[in-house]
Every structure is written in C-alpha cells, then in structure tokens.
Amino acid sequence: MEWSFKTAEELIAALRSGAVSSVELTDEAIARIERDDDVTNAVCVPDFDRARAAALRADQARARGEERALLGVPVTVKECYDVAGLPTTWGMPPHRDFLPAEDAVQVSRLKEAGAVVLGKTNVPLGLQDIQSFNEIYGTTTNPWDPARTSGGSSGGSAAALASGFGALSIGSDIAGSLRTPAHFCGVYAHKPTLGLVASRGMVAPSEPALPVGLDLAVVGPMARSARDLTLLLDVMAGPDPLTHGVAHRLALPPARHERLSDFRVLVLDEHPLIATGSAVRAGVHRVADALADGGARVARHSPLLPDLTEAATLYMQLLISGSVARFPLESDEQLRTRVAGLSPDDESLEAVRLRALLFSHRDWLQANHRREIHRHGWRQLFAEFDAVVCPITPTPAFPHDHTATPLDRRIDIDGVEYPYFDQLVWAGLATMPGLPATAVPAGRSAEGLPVGVQLIGPMSEDRTPLRLAELLEPRTGGFRRPVSAGRDRS
C-alpha cells in the first residue's frame, strides 16, 4: 500500500494497528522526496539519516507500549525554525553556515510528540515575499504547475504536503504566509490567535532565540486535512515554558457548534481596495453554497463588519513599520524625498506603505490604538456570527516573478494589474486584529489550479473555524492530489 498521501490521522491508526511501521513510512517519504523533489524543490534541507533513526526509535517505543500524539508520523519543518545541527538561514546568504545549537520550542514539541522530522522546507529571502525563492536554495515551484509559485513564506511546506512529502508541516504567518501557500497548493493551514502558540526559536539567524513574539506574527500547523490541523495545533499550542508557561496552562474552549446547521456565517467576496478574481470568487461561492446546503445561516452583508479600507491601512502600517524595525534600511534619504513628494490626498496602499517605512513610535501607537477599536468591532460582530468566509488572495497561484525590486511587481487580476503587495489585504483582515483563520481548499480554477478560502473565527476560539473546516471538507472536496505534467509517478 502507498502511504504518502494519507492523512496523519490515518497513519496513526495504521501505526497503532501494526499495519505499517514508522520506518516503512519514513523510507517511503524519503524515496518520494528523492524521486520527485527535483522540480518542486520543497525540501531544501534533508535530514534523512536522523529521520530514519527517529523512526526506528518510534517503532521501538510503540513496541514498549508507549503512546504519543504523533508517534512515528513523518513531518517537515519550515526552514526558519531552528533545528539543532541543521542550518537556519531564512534564505540569507551571509547566514548560509549558521547552525543553531538548540531546537525551536515547536520543533521540541514535535519531537516530544513522537514525530519524525524529515527535513526543512524552503522559504523566501528573509521570509518577506509571497513566493519562495532565495539564492541559497533556489525556487520552490507549485506542484500543480511548475511555472507558478507555491506561495510564501511557507511555500516549501505547502508544496511538500501537496507532493506527499510527509503528513504534516509547521509554518509561520505574518502576511498570509501559512494561508496563501495552502490556497495556492490546495492544502490546509491554520493561523492561530496571536500569542496562542509559542514561537521561540523561529527567529532570524542573526538574532538570539528569545521567548518573545513579534507583533502580528504567529506560527501554526499545515496539513492535508482539517482534522489533522486540530491534531497538530493541540501539539503546538500553549505558552512558552520560559515565560507565561511558568504559571499558565492552555485550555482552548470547544467549538461553538458541532453541526453545520448551527453555524452563523458572514460571507465576503469583495474588497473596496482590490478586485477579486473570478476563480477565487467562484471558490467563495462554492463554500457559501455548501454552508447553505448544510443548513447554516449565511449572510452577505453586516453593518457590524469593521471598515475594510481602514483595516487594510492599519495592517499595512503595522506590518511595514515592524518589518523596517527588524530589517533597517541602509539609507532612507531617497525614501524621505519620495514620501515628501506624495500628495496629502494620496491614500493608496502604495502610499500607506511608503509612509509606514518612516513611522515614528508615536505613529505606531496611534495605529495600535485604532487596532484596538477594530478588535472591539470584531467582538461585536462575533456576537452575531460564528465565522467569516472570505478570500485569502485575489487569485490562484501566479507565475514566478523574480523582479529584483518587489515594489515594482504587479499582480494580474483578470487582466487588470494592481500593485503586488495590495493582494495582502485579505490576509491582513485576520492578521491585524490577531484573529484565528483556517485556510481550506475550495475547488479548482478553470486552469485546474487550487483555490482556497479562509474561515476567520473569534479571538481565542480557534476550534470554531477548525470545526467548521472539518464540517465543510466532505462538501467542498478537500485536498486533491496533484496530477499535473505527468510527474505523479507512483
């Protein structure tokens, strides 16, 4: 039997019954990577010798009667996580030889749960792109069409899952970096509530692995099924043992409902600042129809929805000012001249991003205050609704674009060009207030490319969008195995 495209839940059942061993699963996964990853280039740092040794230990532990959440399950890890003995570069050439001495807290949790780490997956330079390519490891392609991107910055992880390279992966998200690759590659991902999952050791190689989190940024699970997301989130969730974990334990509330017919859902398919492509709009409609067919209460408008234009503006201000704080510009004289030349009436997102590059602390505090007002608005909305369904990006996976200056790139939406980074507004809808959001497959475009949507839920109620994703899975088709270009040679 072939195991590479089974869910983690199915693999665990097979391991428990003795139908397969972890060594067999690991050998099959390694063989598939060695055979098929030459084009996709998802697993940039293999760790096969240690994976085989870990699989053998998992089988021995099971034979002794041990039981752990992921015992013997092959997984991958995004390159930006520290794994002792493997390079952590974030795709930055000056750090190509950096070897951390300790595992990131989430890598430790994977190993404690018994997972077998196959290796690390590719990322963009500094994790700062919607694609995954860098000078060290090259370009990760989309398993459905090698001419297109797998997304970023967790593009390697999404491509690995879609290709059958391990049952689970862990990624990170500040600008849709979990959700966009899942949408582009046809898999599942969950952006947890801000602060729910400890991120120590998911840090640029020039920085110490401190027990602090970055504003907007989260780490989270990726999988080929909705139930596997919950399985992996339960392993990952909880405070850092060096800080809040000293005095606190996590107890996530259950999902608001167990039946689809009990859910109240707001569906959005239009944004005031960017068009929604026809393929993505169709995906949103497929999910809306599945909800309605299942008896859920579906609405298309609500006066309680926070203003989408201001939400996008605040998101860009917080994202860009935070990015510059972590990766300072070498010189900002030309930038100051450009900003000074902007019309006071220019409220485009391009202008917002430029001004945010020069934000003062006072500017940031003002934006943060407005964020709190938006959070209050979301609390009011989630008193009337249980989830919001909306796009992740306006298009399916787009062709590779390695234009040296990302600000010069454009995204084509049904024949109309928009600034490249404007497509982040949908991802920012959940990121700016720190809400949980689950990316789910929602069919295919006319070209056969995967299309996904996100299910945004109430803060700290992560099980609500995850449960909704589980209920929708059989109605929307869930994960489908890529068969493009004759590269599925199993």
**What gap in Å lies between CA 235 and CA 183, rounded to an integer?**
23
The full DSSP string for 210-274 is -S---TT-EEEEEESSHHHHHHHHHHH-B--TTTGGGT----PPPPS-SSGGG-EEEE---BTTB
Residue-level pLDDT at 324: 87
Contact status, residue 366 vs residue 314, Cβ threshold 8 Å: no
Residue-level pLDDT at 484: 54
Residue-level pLDDT at 265: 99
Contact status, residue 384 vs residue 245, Cβ threshold 8 Å: no
**What gap in Å lies between CA 461 and CA 477, rounded to an integer?**
25
Residue-level pLDDT at 333: 79
Residue-level pLDDT at 330: 62
Cα–Cα–Cα angle for 111, 89, 222, rounded to 5 degrees: 45
Q: What are phi and psi of 367, to 5 degrees?
A: -65, -40
Q: Pick the catalytic residue from 4, 163, 172, 177.
A: 177
**What gap in Å lies between CA 477 and CA 26, rounded to an integer?**
27
Q: Pick the catalytic residue from 22, 108, 150, 153.
A: 153
Q: Can you give the pLDDT of all 490 residues of the chain as single tens digits?
A: 899 999 999 999 999 999 999 999 999 999 999 999 999 999 999 999 999 999 999 999 999 999 999 999 999 999 999 999 999 999 999 999 999 999 999 999 999 999 999 999 999 999 999 999 999 999 999 999 999 999 999 999 999 999 999 999 999 999 999 999 999 999 999 999 999 999 999 999 988 999 998 999 999 999 999 999 999 999 999 999 999 999 999 999 999 999 999 999 999 999 999 999 999 999 999 999 999 999 999 999 999 999 999 999 999 999 999 988 877 776 677 788 889 899 999 999 999 999 999 999 999 999 999 999 999 999 999 999 999 999 999 999 999 999 999 989 999 999 999 999 999 999 999 999 999 999 999 999 999 999 999 999 999 999 999 999 999 999 999 999 997 533 444 3
The pTM for the full model equals 0.97
Q: Pick the catalytic residue from 6, 22, 78, 132.
A: 78
Is residue 6 among the annotated active site residues?
A: no
**What gap in Å lies between CA 293 and CA 161, rounded to an integer?**
30
CA atoms within 13 A on the CB side of 38: 6
Residue-level pLDDT at 487: 43
**What gap in Å lies between CA 115 and CA 120, rounded to an integer?**
14
Residue-level pLDDT at 490: 38
**What gap in Å lies between CA 358 and CA 362, rounded to an integer?**
11
Amino acid at 451: V
Is residue 153 among the annotated active site residues?
A: yes
